[in-house]
Structure 1
Amino acid sequence: MARHDRARRLPVPPRHGYRIVSDDTPLLVQRDGAVVRLVLNRPHRRNAMSEALVARMDEALAELRTDTTARVVVISGAGGHFCAGLDLTEVGAPKSAEEKLAEQQARNRRTGARFQAISDLKQVVIAAVEGSAYAGGLGFVCAADIVLASGTARFSAPEVRRGLVPAQILPWLTRRMGRSAAARLCLQGNVIDAEEAARIGLVHATAPDAEGLARLLDLTIADVLEGAPGALAETKGLIAALGAVLPPGYGEAGAEAFARQAAGPEAAEGIASFKERRKAVWSRG
């Protein structure tokens, strides 16, 4: 990792009950030997992805691409939640139709590239999930190599209920759990618990609570570190060579579809209903 980042790195946080409410440090990066922990740190927003958070995530991923000493990357969230997805307060900001279309297309394109960057890391990536893992947060889950969850974990792809589309997470969901289960999750838009997530293949292993998750994470890291670094990286490369997650042209088509919906009236109503804690007009009939 970069020298300037080491200087400001905080001590490794407690494994549960961790809460720092500050958008000044939306992503915490801790180094413990060969293990790098990326902690999404907007607990007051259930770690929803702001522009500042994902920009820092992209920086961290770029650093990890050239880090030859890191062997494991753990992605988790502060304050008892993993990630509630895109920060809809930023999506709903008033802009002209043209500005909104261009902005959302660029945003969604970067989202897809971010998931690919996580998957492409030579390090073994582990997602440790407590609480909400929704929408784009679900993309982080599915781009990871190994997913562990506590009993509090909840998973959802609620985009259609907000007038949006799960454009960039859909291929990753399909890779992880198969087309049928991914279709149901995205079209129904409901919330599933850790037990159901494990049953359909979204999660690899579960623990009853935060302490159990911490122990499970420690055991998993220890197992991974038994593997030779070069052999692990080569194995990840062979897994990737079995087939691309995104068909040719899908990323751009997904960004265009997301932008059209995000700039349209359904998204305006869906986001408004979410903020106002009411049902959208299309669900009242």
Structure 2
Amino acid sequence: MQGITYHISNRIATITLNRPDKRNALNAEVVRELRAAFAQAEADENVKVVILAGNGKAFCAGADLEYLQQLQHNSFEENLIDSKELMQLMQDIYLLEKVVIARIEGDAIAGGCGLASIADLSYAVPAAKFGYTEVRIGFVPALVSVFLVRKIGEGRARELLLTGRLISAEEAVKHGLINGVMAAGSIQEEVQALAEKLCGETSANSLKITKQLISAALDKPLADALEAAARTNAETRQHPDCKKGIGAFLNKLKPDW
């Protein structure tokens, strides 16, 4: 892998965008490498939480503009294939059975802001800027719009996507785009501690099922969603993790997750 690095420690896989000279911009190769890395983390039973980070001064500047310029010579069919690869990456992250935490130590712009918003939990340094700037260069925030509307609602999504303005990390928290701001000198340790806490204090099966419930909540009519939730509730009661967790609680013990 040339555009990213992949590291595992204490059941935590850290996937780091590693093109600091290009502000970690995305191209076809990086997208393929990211998909492969997330698939590897998904399949590894020793991995429980995934951290997504960026090396250098930016988290991710979105699509590589030189790469976008090259794509202008492609046919519609070729561009559709390329677009669907990025679509699959975003879907992979959103539906991953394991918790994904974005550690944002620099600007997250356009598609990079999309990656930040798709993660389950996202934390940024105070200096980080966020924005969907596609309309400023005659492009569109097509894929990220699908996830952004789900996350922060239509009104706020319209304002961010149509103006293309940059917002601070504090404003990103107020919009519900990210979860919190952490000091630059401690964000790595704090995110690591959060990931380790999830590993040590939560059931992997419960995390997976809860993510599925959240992802599906807006896709069904209320009655259907409740019916599916009731079935999931009943099924989970039979799972060994539920039996272990309840047994440990009743015996005033800490379950070994």
- Pairing 1:117–2:92 present: yes
Cα deviation, 1:198-230, whole Å, max 9, x if unaligned, reads 111111011132x22123212321331210111
Pairing of 1:1-285 with structure 2 (within 5 A)? 25-93=2-70, 96=73, 99-209=74-184, 211-225=185-199, 226-244=201-219
Partner of 1:11: none
Query: Which TM-score applies when normalising by structure 1?
Result: 0.73
Runs (5+) with no aligned partner, structure 2: 221-257
| Number of residues of Structure 1 aligned to a counterpart in Structure 2 | 219
Bigger Cα displacement from structure 2, 85-94 vs 126-135: 85-94
**CA distance, structure 1, for counterparts of residue 39 and residue 206 of structure 2:** 22
The one-letter amino acid paired with 1:34 is: R
CA change 1:95–1:126 in 2 (3 A) is closer
**CA distance, structure 1, for counterparts of residue 32 and residue 106 of structure 2:** 23
Q: Contact (CA 8 Å) 1:28, 1:40: kept in 2 or not? A: yes
State the 1:183 CA deviation.
0.8
Q: Percent identity at matched positions?
A: 32
Partner of 2:244: none
Q: Contact (CA 8 Å) 2:10, 2:196: kept in 1 or not? A: no
Q: Secondary structure at the match of 2:143?
A: coil
State the 1:101 CA deviation.
2.5
State the 1:62 CA deviation.
2.1
**CA distance, structure 2, for counterparts of residue 174 and residue 148 of structure 1:** 20
Q: Secondary structure at the match of 1:125?
A: strand
Q: Contact (CA 8 Å) 2:12, 2:196: kept in 1 or not? A: no
**CA distance, structure 1, for counterparts of residue 219 and residue 89 of structure 2:** 15
The one-letter amino acid paired with 1:67 is: D
**CA distance, structure 2, for counterparts of residue 55 and residue 94 of structure 1:** 16
State the 1:107 CA deviation.
1.8
State the 1:141 CA deviation.
1.1
Q: Secondary structure at the match of 1:168?
A: helix
Runs (4+) of structure 1 exceeding 6 A deviation are: none
Runs (5+) with no aligned partner, structure 1: 1-23, 246-285
Q: Secondary structure at the match of 1:86?
A: coil
State the 1:104 CA deviation.
2.3
Q: Secondary structure at the match of 1:126?
A: strand
RMSD, matched Cα: 1.7
Higher helix share: 2
Partner of 1:268: none
State the 1:94 CA deviation.
7.2
Cα deviation, 1:60-100, whole Å, max 9, x if unaligned, reads 1222232222100000000121100000101112764xx34
State the 1:179 CA deviation.
1.1
